[in-house]
Amino acid sequence: MSHYLTRIFELLFLPPGLFIILLLMSIIFIKNMKLLKVLLLLQVLLIYSLT
């Protein structure tokens, strides 16, 4: 059981899982559209650079 929990935390909190969580949080919580577009572009570039 602890192996599964460890694996889930690794997937969520290490890249690229961390960037995907930040991407979802920025879509949900940011109301300023210009700032949202800049953050989305930055996060997509970060995810792309990791692959």
Q: What is the pLDDT of residues 1-51, one digit of tens each?
A: 788 888 888 877 777 777 778 878 888 888 888 888 888 888 888 878 876
Q: Which domain holds residue 44?
A: 2-50
- pLDDT value at residue 21: 80
- pLDDT value at residue 51: 67
Angle, vertex CA 7, rays to CA 47 and CA 16, nearest 5? 5
Task: Name every residue whose Cβ is closer than 8 Å to that of residue 15 and which is 6 or more positions away in sequence.
Answer: 46, 50
Number of domains forming the structure of the chain: 1
